[in-house]
Structure 1
């Protein structure tokens, strides 16, 4: 995967995990969407809007999950 992030104060990570049991991507997104509530309030953000890296330039979260940018390989195989 190649990504270009032209803003110096924004970075990109590609979190990957291996789950113990099968889960649909929408189920995972729903869990991540709920995570910014306590105890991760103000630390973890969640976004479903169409955005570019410059939209996160003033974001104060340590991590913001971009729901539109993710894929789940097991969903592709079903």
Structure 2
């Protein structure tokens, strides 16, 4: 697993770029559904998802720990995934 947080050119918002190798196959549709389920269930209020085309400033003052940008989910082969999530690091 590898990943990094990238400070974007706004005063308060950052973008998490997470790349991981999964034990089980992880197609994009399954990843998106898992994030939706978590955001609507046990992680509600902490994790969010978005399918809208938003920019970094749209996440200023967002109280959630992270918002997964579903259109930017990637899967290479069966086991390599990339997840991008926004968060307000000043909140």
Q: TM-score, normalised by structure 1?
A: 0.81
Q: Which runs of 5+ in 2 are unaligned?
A: 1-5, 79-91
Q: TM-score, normalised by structure 2?
A: 0.71
Q: Spell out the pairing of 1:1-78 with structure 2 (5 A cutoff).
A: 5-74=8-77
CA RMSD in angstroms, aligned pairs only: 1.7
Q: Which runs of 5+ in 1 are unaligned?
A: none
Q: Which runs of 4+ in 1 moved over 3 A?
A: none
Per the TM alignment, residue 4 of structure 1 is displaced from its structure 2 partner at its CA by 6.8
C-alpha contact (below 8 Å) 1:7/1:57 kept by paired residues: no
Q: How many residues align?
A: 73
Larger Rg: 1
SS of equivalent to 1:33: helix
Q: Deviations over 1:22-67 (max 9, x none)?
A: 1211111110111112321100010000110011112111111001
Greater share of strand residues, 1 or 2? 2
